[in-house]
Amino acid sequence: MADLPVPYGRHEIDDDDIAAVVRVLRGDWLTTGPAVEEFEQAFAAFVGSGHAVAVSNGTAALHLTMLAAGIGPGDEVIVPALTFAASANCVRYVGATVVFADIAADTLTVDVAHVASLITSRTKAIMAVDYAGLPANLTVLRALADTYGLLFVEDGCHAPGAFCDGRAVGTVADATTFSFHPVKHLTTGEGGMITTASADMAARLRTLRNHGITTDARAREQAGTWAYDMVALGYNYRLSDMQCALGTSQLHRLPAWLARRRELAARYTAALGEVPALRLQAIPHGSTHAFHLYPVRVCGDKPAPARAALYTALRTHGILVNVHYRPVYLHSYYRALGYRAGLCPVAEAAYDGLLSLPMWPGLSDDTQDMVIDALLAEVVAHV
């Protein structure tokens, strides 16, 4: 019998994780210590990137990327409409303008043709978002950014371990951001990472995460000096050694967790793929999905009320489905800036029917079967 309630996602902590954190607690450095560099090097090796910079959360990763790239007032950044608010908010943090791009109806990732149509003389960057763990069309977006001399940023927070045309998420864009929130693929409690091939960008990111100061306490201790210089207006976006030790420990299990997520996704697809009332996310040839989420869309003439009924009914059963996401510009803050409904009609239509099903490596087959059975029963009743 399944344990209830069933969340849409959750973390997995074991004794090795706890022991890794305890070792740091018993050591000399709780922050800016050796565990930070160890995690950065391990994550860079996992992704295949030249550099990785650990920061306090995924939003900080996005913010610092904008800062390090010199984006500011008067600049425009193209961002997919269907994403978490942080993807767009980071552009606002530096005073730039968000230009929202629509999505492709089948993959739910950004529509490359729409992105191309939005490029102006003020455009400074294109942001891809790997929605649910499916890489955006990184190959074409990379070429588009190169053609126009634009920064290419990837919000890969859903997609560590995913691939597009044989290239790993974290190795295609100029900078790729990741999140280690508890429901993500691995967790540090809160935390984030930026990967880049550029040594110069990595150096800027490290300075900006530490108040704009060129050295941290450990570097000064090793050099035998107290002196430091603040060269930019930075932030305290550091990730502690305790969190990094947890991240390094979790990273060892990430390949197995990814394999399990893909097994669960295959079981969902086999059970739901032929249900007329539901539409599943398409996975293009050449893409490997990381399945942070397993989204389904309710079809029909009135998907929004049907989705609402399914959401309520399933949660009444203790199945805590969720919705990812309302198009960012429909939130009150962005409406106050002048953005209006109708801007990205495909994203709005997708949102009306979206529902995220439970997905995490510890989800058992029996519990997943209970979720599937309940969903199918409620689809018959409400759709």
DSSP secondary structure letter of residue 301: S
Give residue 106's region: left, alpha or beta (phi > 0; psi -120 to 50). Answer: alpha
Q: Is residue 124 flagged as an active site residue?
A: no
For residue 42, the SS3 value is helix
Residue 224 contacts by C-beta under 8 Å, 6 or more apart in sequence? none
Give the span between the Cα atoms of 228 and 217, in whole angstroms. 9
DSSP secondary structure letter of residue 281: P
CA atoms within 13 A on the CB side of 268: 27
Return the closest-CA partner of residue 155 out of 227, 229, 255, 78.
78
- Give the neighbor-by-neighbor strand order of the sheet with 294-298: 278-280, 294-298, 354-357
Choose the catalytic residue: 114, 184, 206, 279. Answer: 184
**Which pair of tokens denotes residue 303?**
């998907």
Structural contact between residues 160 and 176, judged by C-beta atoms closer than 8 angstroms:
no
Pairing assessment for the beta strands 76-80 and 123-129 based on DSSP bridges? parallel
Give the span between the Cα atoms of 331 and 85, in whole angstroms. 9
**Which pair of tokens denotes residue 362?**
């510890």
Q: Percentages helix, strand, coil for the chain, rounded to the nearest 5?
A: 40, 15, 40
Hey, which residues does 316 pair with through a beta bridge?
Answer: none
Residue 234 contacts by C-beta under 8 Å, 6 or more apart in sequence? 67, 207, 208, 209, 210, 211, 212, 213
Structural contact between residues 135 and 164, judged by C-beta atoms closer than 8 angstroms:
yes
Give the span between the Cα atoms of 104 and 82, in whole angstroms. 10
CB crowding 166-198: b at 16 or more within 10 Å, else e: eebbbbbbbbbbbbbbebbbbbbbbbbbbbbee
**Which residues are known catalytic residues?**
184
